[in-house]
């Protein structure tokens, strides 16, 4: 086996959430290019169908499952859907998530709960449903050609490991997702590897507003050591590595695919607290 062969996922089956666009779409297509059949899910069916066409163009199969993935029952059902359609389950990409930045005093308990649910509870629901099906897909332990390890990859954020004003709910949820992944890696070893990616600023729909404001785009590029905003394929490449035999000696770890960031590269302009909020101004 050559080193490049280790990155192949021939005839594996993957589930990718939030796959209608951006990182999820790029990852789904990358997994197909590596040889996997892919279950893709998001809210918007038209977007999913476009991604499915790209998957099928690689010669692999795609199963489109439109769903509101904020609902844990819906996201958990993806595991069984993939197993029923393709007869096995090998890879789970927990990509759905996100939370809009917010000032501290505007972040009530419900907002924090919602961020945790959307970023962590959904990942747990899907992975918990997937584990028995992954184990049922294990091959012959006496056949060295049979790739018996399974893989879960969680998409976290640089804000899950650094601090920045306005990111309390988002950063807390993404930090929780990262530690959930490390704990799950311990629980599921040695048959199922669990890893993740700390994602930096990537030009997806969430950053479309930046592309139209040259000053903001410049600020983000200047604040990134590698001098550019990332592309979805930068993250997809890391996901293929972690999902494939190339990463078979890696579990409970997070790759920092962020252009070298050590903190946020965009100032949200949130002011210091003042006397009117009951806090001392500075």
pLDDT in tens, the chain (282 residues): 899 999 999 999 999 999 999 999 999 999 999 999 999 999 999 999 999 999 999 999 999 999 999 999 999 999 999 999 999 999 999 999 999 999 999 999 999 999 999 999 999 999 999 999 999 988 765 555 455 689 999 999 999 999 999 999 999 999 999 999 999 999 999 999 999 999 999 988 777 777 678 888 999 999 999 999 999 999 999 999 999 999 999 999 999 999 999 999 988 889 999 886 654 443
pTM to 2 decimal places: 0.93
Any catalytic annotation for residue 170? yes
Closest CA to 29 of 121, 120, 95: 95
Q: Is the CATH number of domain 4-202+209-254 3.40.50.2000?
A: no
- Show me where the domains of the chain are located: 4-202+209-254
101 three-class SS: coil
Asked if 75 and 17 count as a contact pair (C-beta separation under 8 A), the reply is: yes
Closest CA to 252 of 151, 125, 117, 149: 151
207 CA to centre of own chain: 16
User: CA quadruple 229, 232, 233, 234: dihedral positive or negative?
Assistant: positive
Query: How far is residue 110's CA from residue 104's CA, in Å, rounded to a whole number?
Result: 13
- Give the active site residue among 170, 198, 241, 249: 170
Closest CA to 36 of 52, 17, 55, 19: 55
């Amino acid at each position: 086996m050559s080193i490049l062969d280790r990155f192949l996922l021939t005839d594996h089956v993957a589930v990718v959430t939030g796959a209608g666009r951006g990182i999820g779409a790029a990852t789904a297509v990358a997994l197909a290019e590596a040889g996997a059949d892919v279950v893709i899910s998001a809210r918007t069916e038209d977007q999913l169908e476009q991604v499915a066409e790209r998957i099928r163009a690689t010669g692999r199969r795609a199963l489109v499952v439109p769903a509101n993935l904020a609902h844990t029952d819906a996201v958990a059902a993806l595991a069984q859907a993939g197993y029923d359609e393709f007869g096995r389950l090998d890879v789970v990409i927990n990509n759905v998530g996100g939370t809009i930045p917010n000032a501290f005093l505007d972040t009530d308990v419900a907002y924090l709960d919602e961020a945790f649910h959307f970023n962590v509870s959904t990942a747990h629901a899907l992975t918990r449903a997937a584990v028995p099906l992954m184990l049922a897909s294990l091959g012959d332990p006496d056949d060295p050609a049979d790739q018996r390890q399974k893989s879960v990859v969680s998409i976290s954020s640089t804000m899950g490991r650094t601090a920045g004003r306005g990111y309390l709910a988002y950063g807390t949820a993404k930090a929780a997702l990262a530690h959930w992944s490390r704990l799950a890696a311990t629980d599921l070893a040695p048959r199922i590897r669990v890893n993740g990616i700390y994602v930096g600023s990537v030009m997806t729909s969430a950053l479309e507003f930046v592309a139209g404001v040259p000053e903001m785009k410049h600020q983000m590029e200047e604040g990134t050591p590698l001098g550019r905003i990332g592309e979805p394929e930068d993250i997809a490449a890391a996901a293929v590595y972690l999902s494939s035999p190339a990463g078979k000696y890696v579990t409970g770890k997070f790759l920092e695919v962020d252009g070298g960031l050590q903190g946020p590269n965009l100032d949200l302009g949130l002011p210091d607290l003042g006397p009117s909020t009951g806090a001392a101004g500075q």
